[in-house]
Amino acid sequence: MKDADKTKEQLINELLELRKNNAELEGSGRNNKQSEEELIKIKDHLDNIIESSLDGIVVGDNTGNIVKVNDSFLKLIGYRFEEVNGKHVMELSITEKGTYESTTGETVKIDEEYFNYAKKVVYKKLFEEGKVTNWEAYYLHKDKKIVPVEMNITYLYNEIGEITGSVGIIRDITERKKAVATLKKSEEKYHSLIELANAGIIVAENNKITQVNRKAEEIYGYSKEELIGQSPSILTPDKCKDRHRESLNEILTLGETNKMIFEEEGIRKDGSLIPTEISFSLEWEKENMIIAVVRDITERKNAEEERKQLLDELKDKNQELEQVFYVASHDLRSPLVNIQGFSRELEKAFKDVQSILYRSEKIDPIIKETLTPALEEDIPEALQYILASISKMDSLLSGLLRLSRLGRAALTIKNLDMNKLVLDITKSFEYQVKGTGITLKIDELPSCLGDETQINQVFSNLVDNALKYLNPSQTGAITISGRRENGHAVYYVEDNGIGIAPEHQDKIYEIFHRLNPSATEGEGLGLTIARKILDRHAGRLWVKSQLGKGSIFIVSLPTN
Ligand code: ADP
């Protein structure tokens, strides 16, 4: 160990030991040459210890006048040796009351109390016990700043117990004081942060609450004073206590870096329950210290409840609507069939009446002429309208029926080979494509999960539309491609047809909505059905299109 590394205690002990040896040697024979050499060695060693110490060392004679100091002490008080040699040690400490600037940067008030304490230390400890340890006081630097120090002072005695001198070891504790002040400041900052936090903060040590902030008081309705010292479990209702304990045990066994967040009901002072979200953590490497950050989630819970209720209502309404759909489309068909049958009979009967009237010679030509507009125009035209409307209504009802059945049909979800599925579909359109010059290109397609029949229906509708809505003035080109994107299979059915104006792109999925009903055959149901199928598959259908340039219908389906 280097001398500079030794503690004050060690240094004092060593000094005393050396002094004892010295006295023994002196007593055992001053004239002995060997002893003299040893004495010189010991003195050198003693000087070395004093000089190399990082702490200031002051050696006084039996009256307290300085006889020796080391460089560390001179540095501490800012004087040269000549300036302190022979002075009384007390002259270098503070002798007057007042406000002093300290080397820590603070201003320190030295008052009566300081001197009273100093006196007590000197009289009680030094005079009675012969030593003072770890005494915190101040030295006065030459530049008038005060230096905070920690001192150990020991009296030296001769063989018959008389005081022969004193040794003081003085440590400059400026840096230590500064560190303590910084720590205090940061602790204050931390306290005000906790106080200002918009979440309840509760700190517990060894299952006792040691700190709570304003928000925690607000959440639980207790005051700080009422909570401190209590077990945190008073904030947990009985029914949640087991789970709460389990969570805490988990944190304690998982260790300080693990945090846990969970929702739990809390109990307020008035016994009312409050939904909370609590995050726990072990902190500051202190065993059994837990910090709980608590949020009042009443509003969130209410909103969730409201949302759930709305969703349930919506589901009920949807089911009701589907039921109405089904009943309407199913039950309206039988009267429609009657109307259709009787209309045809009416048509037939009318034709009979018509031919009898024309053929009969007995009927007055004037009556015949009067009846002509009704027989030749009005009645046949009305019958034609009735029959056309019946057939339109028939197709609308069967469309509705298909749609409502779709919602009820059970799904058989499996992995689908989309290359095969799309190839089968395009084969069924082969006849339509042949001889038209239309190019139909199918890229390699990724597989997906779905009900084969329903997914077939989606792609059949899309390919059918791509062919139906081509531009007659140019050669048609249709491409089907696909790729995997973010865990989904995404398929593109692209055509260079008439396209869809942006303002209509949302409407095309509406039931029976057709943009140009007279131009092509159709019911306006294909895309409604496709969307409904994809909804049930947790998939999506959307379009990118430019009027006159073509459309890309995009389908996304899950893959796992
Ligand atoms: P339908 O084809 O029987 O009319 P859909 O529901 O399949 O019914 O389509 C709705 C409407 O969307 C169509 O009437 C048409 O106006 C438009 N549409 C669908 N596909 C395309 C397409 N590939 N190109 C241009 N318009 C399209």
What is the percent of the chain with per-residue pLDDT over 70, rounded to a whole number? 91
| Stronger pLDDT, 176 or 24, i.e. the higher one | 176
Q: Grade residue 256 by pLDDT with cuts at 50, 70 and 90.
A: very low
Q: Measuring from atom 20 of ligand 1, which residue has the nearest CA? A: 465
SS (HEC) of 307-372: HHHHHHHHHHHHHHHHHHHHHHHHHCHHHHHHHHHHHHHHHHHHHHHHHHHHHCCCCCHHHHHHHH
Q: Which residues, listed in sequence order, are joined to residue 291 by a DSSP beta bridge?
A: 203, 281
Joined together, the tokens standing for residue 157 give 């005695």
Q: Grade residue 152 by pLDDT with cuts at 50, 70 and 90.
A: very high
Is the CB of residue 458 below 6 angstroms from any atom belonging to ligand 1?
no
| Stronger pLDDT, 349 or 241, i.e. the higher one | 349
Query: How far away, in angstroms, is 508 Cα from ligand 1 center?
Result: 6
| Stronger pLDDT, 404 or 20, i.e. the higher one | 404
Is the CB of residue 526 below 6 angstroms from any atom belonging to ligand 1?
yes
Q: What is the DSSP letter of 102?
A: B
pLDDT at residue 35 in the model: 65
Tens of pLDDT, residue by residue over 40-63, are 887 788 888 888 899 999 999 988
Is the C-alpha dihedral spanning 3, 9, 13, 16 positive or negative? positive
Average the pLDDT over each of 119-133, 157-171, 195-209 and give the range with the smallest value.
119-133
The whole-angstrom separation of Cα 212 and Cα 204 is 9
Substitution site in 429, 503, 508, 513 for ligand 1 pocket (most atoms within 8 Å of beta carbon): 508
For residues 416 and 423, the answer to whether their CB atoms sit within 8 Å is no
pTM listed for this prediction: 0.54
pLDDT at residue 24 in the model: 59
pLDDT at residue 241 in the model: 85
Query: How far away, in angstroms, is 326 Cα from ligand 1 center?
Result: 24
Residue 479 belongs to what H/E stretch? strand 477-485
Average pLDDT over residues 400-412: 85
Substitution site in 527, 543, 544, 549 for ligand 1 pocket (most atoms within 8 Å of beta carbon): 527
Res 31 pLDDT > 60: no
Average pLDDT over residues 159-164: 88
Q: What is the DSSP letter of 5?
A: G
